[in-house]
Structure 1
Amino acid sequence: MKILHLISGGDNGGAKTHVITLLKELSKHADITLVCLLEENFAKEAREQGINVVVLKQNKRYKLDIVNRLVEMLKKDKYDILHCHGARANFLAMFIKKKYSIPTVSTIHSDYKSDFDNNLYKKIVYTTLNYFSLKRMDYFIAITNQFKKMLVDRGFKDNKIFVAYNGTRIIEKCYSLSKQEFLDRYNIEYDENKVYVGIVTRLHPVKGIPVFLKAAAKVLKTSSNILFLIAGNGDEKHTEKYKEFVINNDLGDKIRFLGFIKDIDNFYNAIDINTLTSHSESFPYALLEGSLNKKATISSAVGGIPEMIIHEESGLLFEDNNYEQLAEYIIKLAEDKELRNRYSENLHNRVKNNFSDVDMAQSHIEIYNKILKN
């Protein structure tokens, strides 16, 4: 079985983690090639993981000469399936199918209607083009049941949609620095009596950072032994806006922005409570990776998150945008170490038993076989 995976190669965050994690494991079971349209960190990191990477540079989205090169590659090496990730790959697949008959499948990593919310021009143009491209796709892999329902509700055929959850590599010890060593790196005082609450996210409106900040401000009115840490970066406009909130509320010593952190497992090891405040999500790696480090988790109940976290069993889920409920849950867990430990252990076991990279790869092999049989 030969599968060509196509992606822009400029992706970061969950999509990049998903593809690299998936292809590393898939390569043990099938002949896999990853084609990137940009020579950036994505391609470099994929190569470092032993994935067969080919870069076919496409400097502009509208440069369609790349289609002939992809068709030639598909024909010459006799690939069985073209697997697309993201709007750019979906768009090219629409033209490839006019020149060469090959089953096409696209992974739905997010709500495609919200992918370009931060840019009005892109939202109008790219979202429309992506929709037309998706309508011409043969099959889809939704990473949650909620995403499959979303597609069906929008007129996509149920029998063309498969579900395969995101998975993560199961490692018992992920971190390399102690809690104190990590905090020292950022000149943050280590105090065993403090509770450290963290969030790993892009500093983007869809990630609900104001919800996190408002909840933190509310918590800190009554709890002085809690410190809030934010890992991630974003565009300057939104980052400055969030930092202004912290300054205006005199919380500079209680809420710390750490920026992008490459060795993210050391961040998870340093915190006691992992949070996510997104308004829209799929099946986020920020929670999967946090679970490996056995961190008690609080998240907004959006997207596929309720399929991962069982409320009051393996974590706590709050209503989207409800910062008061988030604040209440943070205080609840901060004051009850035993409850934190129980939730973290339960989530760790749930992820280990259901959402591993091996499970994810096996699901894809089964899906590919069904596609080829059809």
Structure 2
Amino acid sequence: MKVMHLISGGDSGGAKTHVHSLLQNLTRTPGVDVTMVCFMEGQFSQEARELGIPTVVLAGKNLFKTRNVLKKMVLEGGYQILHCHGARGNMMGAMLRKATGLPVVTTVHSDYRLDYLGRPISRLTYGTINTIALRKLDYRIGVSDAMTDLLISRNFDPDKLFTIYNGIDFTPRIPTLSRPEYLKSVGLEADDSSVVVGIAARLNPVKDIATLVRGFALAHQVCPQLRLLIAGDGEQMDMLKSLAGELGVSRQVCFAGWISDTDSFYNALDVNTLTSLSETFPYSLTEGARAGLPTVASRVGGVPYLIEHGVHGLLFEAGDAEALSRHLITLAQDPELRRNMGQRLYQRAKADYSLESTLQRQLTIYETILRRQARTCGRRDGALVCGAYGRGNAGDDAILEAIVAELRQIDPDLPVWVLSRSPAETRQTYRVNSIYTFAPHKFLRRMAKTRLYINGGGSLMQDVTSHRSLWFYLFTISWAKRLGNQVMMYGCGIGPIHSQANRRRAARVLQKYVDAITLRDTHSKDELDDMGVTTPHILLSADPTVTLPPAPDTVIDGVLESQGIDPKGRYIGFALRPWPGYEEKAPAFAAAADYAYEKYGLIPVFLPIEPRLDVEAARLTARHMKAPYHILPTTGSSDHTIGLFARMQAVVSMRLHALVFAAGQGVPLVGVVYDQKISSFLSYIGQDLFLDLDKVTVQSLCSYIDAVYARIGDKEFLAGGVDRLRQVEEKNRLTARSLLEATTR
């Protein structure tokens, strides 16, 4: 693999560190040949040579002459990829793209619209050129998920975006000075009982150290053992010292100035902080993570992608000194929480933000680019997925995640498009292209270019909630086929379709326009048989979400802790939803929850699948309860949701996907049937504890809780049905693969 990097040569800060570190490690990688071309001589190129990076400087001002020299170098040198950095690199990459025929990728180190603020002429010239050049290149790499999301929000193609992070060396560090020695050396009055909060940053307005001083002063009133150590220098030094004096914490705040011994600095801290008003992804976070420190940080830039609030640290809105103080108090008063958060942050950072992971990620990006370059492209390519997406339902979101993951297994380079009610959110969450569900002029045009149309998961073929949704899905199916796609209904449920006219319409469309249908339960097969649908290839499979894994235990520990829930507690989960007849049954659910607590010591936890509906249903039940309980406002991402259900000793659910998630983790179940899909699923996996909503009573629910409690720990009872589900679910992916293979690009 031979790669040429193009960069101006005047870069500094994070971009300089990233490029030097990356290229130094690439040069040491067997089978990789890199050359860096700079457009000016200076400290950047000199340091690169000292690091052993092959460096060429082309300092001429004639752009076209430089382009011709580079073109000759590229073609004669046998390079395979051009990798650009910054405005001048991007401009030259755009000029070389067609001339060389090579794929051109750029790493976007900062928001290109803000690069020349305060320099109007440079912004008008270099800024404009860079903005145009970015659109002309083949691929872009964001230096954080936040940067990638920013590019997606500006309509760059998600299929041609990658993410990489500024990695650091996680080799164990031995500090030069012990904690007491270091604190004494910088003049901070502290002892063994002190909780030392620290920050390493330039003392300028964007770092907003003033908010840290104010928040610390508020926290110190509650926790006098707190101390603050500020490392860094800058124009706000005098102002910040005066502020500490005004707030009465001069003796508890130490300004260490610029430091070189960062290992001893972080070793002396108990809590790391970051209060910036704006960031991409600061090295100070990963340096603190390497030291195993819990972190309190402002919710800016790429910070939330490393630190999940309550799991790896605590986040606050930039400038909010009161929220910052509350977080400092929380950590100061709980040494175990500090240890747990610090360890979880260390584990995450080491896995995703180390030099090794950065290097491996870059090599994977290059391999992907070369593989796509060799891909035979024709008029048609890609898949279009349609379902009830972008509506905030955890079950539907999990279905989409599973389908996209399985399509990536089939073909990692397959362009995927999704119809969604919230296309911007879908693009950022799943890194796929997305079209607004009710924009037929756009999705019909896309259908004319894709190879496979997927009517994806869930019970889309039903008329209980809406006749119009059924008609819409039938419309998209028929037009997808007419426009040349293979058409698949993916791990879906069928029915109920009550209207005879709708049944005839659905049967006609499915019979004529669908190539394959994989079903998640036997009842759906009976429905198709009754409707006379026989032409498509019909298979019994399973809901695609059974393949999704839970988040790691340490992450779920943090999620529970953030909600004030003891990760070591014993819980019974309730997944309830509003439905005709539910309101009058709420007291019975409340009595059953009380019963589970009083008899078995199981604390009720209400887990919403669709928060905008389910949280209120939980509150309605909780009003009648006497036992302690928890209502989660949301269960978060799919892996978090599955992990939370895995922590329940038993689950009582009206929601199908709550049952799917719990069953997949071996949790005993009680189903409350408001729709036949609930009983169909439970019967399909060999479960017998379910009752109709209209038959719910206190007595019946309590007897089911007795029965489900008896199954706690009986992993074999659930394992057989769930293992079979996971095996048959593979039919979804195999069917999609066969349809894709039947098409030509």
TM-score normalised to the size of structure 2? Answer: 0.45
Distance 2:91 2:324 in 1: 39
Could you tell me how far apart the structure 1 residues matched to 2:238 and 2:98 are?
46
> What secondary structure, in the 3-state scheme, does the structure 1 residue paired with 2:272 have?
strand
Give the one of 272, 275, 291 matched to 1:274.
Answer: 272
Inter-partner Cα distance in structure 2 for 1:172 and 1:136: 43
Give the letter for the 1:33 counterpart. Answer: T
- Counterparts of 1:163-312 in structure 2, within 5 Å, are 163-173=163-173, 175-234=175-234, 236=235, 238=236, 241-246=239-244, 249=247, 251-312=249-310
Does the Cα contact within 8 Å between 2:173 and 2:263 map onto a contact in 1? no
> Is 1:150 matched up with 2:150?
yes
For residues 218 and 256 of structure 1, what CA distance do their matches in structure 2 show?
Answer: 17
Q: Which moves more between the two structures, 197-206 or 307-316? A: 197-206
Return the offset for 1:310.
2.1
Structure 2 stretches lacking a partner, 5+ long? 374-745
2:593 corresponds to: none
8 Å CA contact 2:297, 2:316 repeated in 1: yes
Other-structure match for 2:673: none
Checking the alignment, whether the CA contact within 8 Å between 2:141 and 2:161 is kept in structure 1 is yes
Q: Which amino acid aligns with 1:211?
A: T
Indicate how the Cα distance of structure 1 residues 79 and 262 shifts in structure 2: closer, same or farther if over 3 A, else same. Answer: farther
RMSD: 3.1
- Greater RCO between the two (CA within 8 Å, min separation 6)? 1
SS in 1 for 2:265: helix
Moved more, 289-298 or 331-340: 331-340
Q: Is structure 2 residue 341 aligned with structure 1 residue 369?
A: no
Give the aligned partner of residue 313 of structure 2: 315
Q: 1:203 to 1:273 in 2, by over 3 A?
A: same
Give, in whole Å, the separation in 1 of the partners of 2:88 and 2:111.
Answer: 15
Q: Which secondary structure state, in structure 2, belongs to the residue aligned with residue 343 of structure 1? A: helix
CA contact (8 A) 1:203 1:232 kept: yes
Shift of 1:44: 5.2
Cα separation, 2, equivalents of 1:119 and 1:353: 39
State whether residues 214 and 323 of structure 1, in contact with CA within 8 Å, keep that contact through their aligned partners in structure 2.
Answer: yes
- Give the Cα–Cα distance (whole angstroms) in 1 for the partners of residues 363 and 164 of structure 2: 10
Aligned equivalents of 1:4 and 1:233: distance in 2? 37
- Looking at structure 2, the residues matched to 86 and 260 of structure 1 have their Cα atoms a distance apart, in angstroms, of 29
Q: 2:36 aligns with which of 28, 34, 37?
A: 34
Please list the CA deviations of residues 162-212 of structure 1 after superposition, one character each: whole Å capped at 9, or x if unmatched: 223343222122533322343344343452222221112233433333332
3-state secondary structure, aligned to 2:266: helix
The number of residue pairs the alignment matches comes to 369
Distance 1:113 1:293 in 2: 34
1:337 paired to 2:335 = yes
C-alpha contact 1:174 1:293 (8 A) present in aligned 2 = no
Structure with bigger gyration radius? 2
Q: Give the AA of the match of 2:327.
A: Y
Deviation at 1:153, TM superposition (A): 1.9
In the alignment, the residues of structure 2 paired with residue 227 and residue 147 of structure 1 have an alpha-carbon distance, to the nearest angstrom, of: 34
Identity of paired residues, percent? 41
Distance 1:46 1:239, change over 3 A: farther
- Residue 250 to residue 139, structure 1, CA distance change in 2 (3 Å): same
Q: Is the 8 Å Cα contact of residues 333 and 340 (structure 1) preserved in structure 2?
A: yes
CA 1:99–1:247 in 2, change beyond 3 Å: closer, same or farther?
farther
Aligned pairs for 1:37-76 (under 5 A) are 37=39, 42-43=44-45, 45-47=47-49, 49-57=51-59, 64=63, 67=67, 70-76=70-76
More divergent stretch after superposition (346-355 vs 49-58): 49-58
Following superposition of structure 1 onto structure 2, how do residues 97-136 of structure 1 map, counting pairs within 5 Å?
97=97, 100-117=100-117, 122=122, 126-136=126-136
TM-score if structure 1 supplies the norm length?
0.84
- 1:19 lines up with 2:27 in the alignment: no
Deviation at 1:257, TM superposition (A): 3.4
Structure 1 contact 232–258 (Cα < 8 Å) conserved = yes
Change beyond 3 A, Cα 1:56–1:179: farther
